Structure 1
């Protein structure tokens, strides 16, 4: 009986430590590794991999993140993205920051750019995102990645690419079956939107964490025109933002956490460092341990 009691204590201790490991900053970092995940039109598309050091866990969750920049700028080495990846790795995650084709570099992505071109831009970025995920899945054994615990995220344009790939895959990919049926554990969106929330179904209703200003002047908080273009302008296209996406998830009884910033604009596409403890807590409880929480926070 005594041995059984000790075994139970050891099991409980392991379970608690396994859950808390992804909240506490207890790890040092290995040297960041840069890999090329695809080459397109002569351009090497790269990603940076951040890992915990001296971590005995053999299967770790992975966070794959796409930077913002209007599909015209930005970098995976942006200080905020690097800091987030380092924070995640210190908690025991494998964290990945990816580059992708900046198809609007030196060009407009506003109301003077035709709607069909915007859709094509979303598609190309979503394709790059899926190629990066595919690459990380292929090399999972090198980094001890648990492919049942893939968390994906992005900021602004990066969030649009990721959200469209996850929730609007039938719109983004003519042959979406060419991509593996990835088991996404969750999405992390900073001021993102999708083309059509009606395409979110029970099959692709991935839990999510969303940050968005209610008066975002570029990417709509609910359902509104991209960049608030007028109907007569070439770039007029309706998008469904965080509010509309989470309403759909709520209807499908899917977990989500939405931070709404009253009167906030597009500045909430920035990394929410003040709220990361709550974000990582949600990651742990919902994305990694399967709890069903629906949380809305107004600021």
Structure 2
């Protein structure tokens, strides 16, 4: 069985520990698509659930080349993942970039993530992009890292054009050129956000503008198929950021973000990205992107992982990983099906709830001071639901093995929820 986690290389961007913490993502509200038939698959099933069991991959396709910051020529490759048995004539594509502080990582790291999207009916693509390849001592400067990000934007745009060129010529992957999305994890999320947002209409400082012009301008110089558009219909930033959120404007595409609110690597609000504990470059994270997007009426959604100092902690358990896929694919389907509503799907936290006794032996009881209709679910440390009841304040647990569990309490009416740790003796 394949692991639930994407095969990320965490040699640089690595949490100090993996938190087996079940967060209240299961209660993301579902939007009804009963009348949404603007796009094939707008049926509340495809794109939102695993409708395919097998995925096929086409690996190592050359899509461009470029010169690294150290002056080396690098050929760029991408891998394409498709659902097996899919008969739909055109499919949306999501092009993804790996994480690794812009100094490490490889496109194979996102094989698991691409397979997850492909099982839901997307064509998913994992790309190479140029990394920092100068010596790490002395540490990279802020200007050097901005240079590397500019090169990654050029590479991202070349990958977008490659998929559109395929759609217009051989049509190997049956990609809809009008439904091209991008995204990335950590450094890849930073690259994706800049690719989607940064353009010639923005107020860019002279030094950055010089870097952009030296690397092919706003089109980039990673490939010569510039007759194809590198615009995107939306982007996903998984623990990503922008160097300056003021570059966003009302013409920028919708976006969805997921971020730990105390992230010590890429800031959730504002601050410096850290490389091996050293502050490198100033960034404005997912909270600032949301605030700016809201002020410009750009449709966006932010899923905040509260009280978490980890980086990309939401890939820590099968349930967290699946909930993140649910959150992002719901966002993408809402764009395709013209149902993009609301700006923040973060569930309301249910207050005033306490479970007792803790540790428990035969039953768990929950305080219910306001007489709410409560749904209770209990999950083990692997994220598996082991028991549940509706409209109750009590769960029988005497049949369960001793250990640590997570109690999910949900208000039936409002879907507000809370997660609490439970010990069973």
TM-score by length of 1: 0.83
- Aligned counterpart, 1:185: 233
- Aligned counterpart, 2:271: 224
Matched, 1:75 2:106: yes
User: CA 1:157 to 1:104, structure 2 compared with 1: closer, same or farther past 3 Å?
Assistant: farther
> Post-superposition shift, 1:156?
0.9
**Take 1:46 and 1:106, find their aligned partners in 2: how far apart are those partners?**
24
- 1:246 corresponds, among 258, 281, 290, to 290
Q: Contact (CA 8 Å) 1:258, 1:296: kept in 2 or not?
A: yes
Q: Deviations over 1:56-111 (max 9, x none)?
A: 21111001000001112112212xx22221121111111001112222476269xx
**Take 1:95 and 1:108, find their aligned partners in 2: how far apart are those partners?**
36
Helix, strand or coil: the match of 2:346? strand
Q: Deviations over 1:153-201 (max 9, x none)?
A: 0011111111111112345733215665444221111111111111111
User: CA 1:14 to 1:279, structure 2 compared with 1: closer, same or farther past 3 Å?
Assistant: closer
- Aligned counterpart, 1:119: 146
- Aligned counterpart, 1:211: 258
- Aligned counterpart, 2:83: 52
State the Cα RMSD in Å. Answer: 3.0
Matched, 1:291 2:340: yes
**Take 2:230 and 2:38, find their aligned partners in 1: how far apart are those partners?**
28
User: CA 1:294 to 1:287, structure 2 compared with 1: closer, same or farther past 3 Å?
Assistant: farther
User: CA 1:37 to 1:288, structure 2 compared with 1: closer, same or farther past 3 Å?
Assistant: farther
- Of stretches 135-144 and 63-72 in structure 1, the one that deviates more from structure 2 is 135-144
Specify which structure has the higher proportion of helix. Answer: 1
Give structure 2 stretches of 5+ with no counterpart. 1-34, 67-71, 221-225, 350-425
Q: Deviations over 1:34-55 (max 9, x none)?
A: 2111133443211110112222
**Take 1:278 and 1:130, find their aligned partners in 2: how far apart are those partners?**
25
Q: Contact (CA 8 Å) 1:71, 1:104: kept in 2 or not?
A: no
**Take 1:84 and 1:218, find their aligned partners in 2: how far apart are those partners?**
21
**Take 1:201 and 1:164, find their aligned partners in 2: how far apart are those partners?**
13
Helix, strand or coil: the match of 1:134? helix
**Take 2:36 and 2:333, find their aligned partners in 1: how far apart are those partners?**
17
Q: Contact (CA 8 Å) 1:150, 1:184: kept in 2 or not?
A: yes
- Aligned counterpart, 1:282: 331
**Take 1:63 and 1:241, find their aligned partners in 2: how far apart are those partners?**
22
Helix, strand or coil: the match of 1:184? coil
Correspondences of 1:254-269 after superposition (within 5 Å):
254-268=298-312
TM-score by length of 2: 0.60
User: CA 1:30 to 1:84, structure 2 compared with 1: closer, same or farther past 3 Å?
Assistant: closer
Q: Contact (CA 8 Å) 1:22, 1:280: kept in 2 or not?
A: yes
> Post-superposition shift, 1:289?
2.8
User: CA 1:102 to 1:22, structure 2 compared with 1: closer, same or farther past 3 Å?
Assistant: same
- Of stretches 17-26 and 245-254 in structure 1, the one that deviates more from structure 2 is 17-26
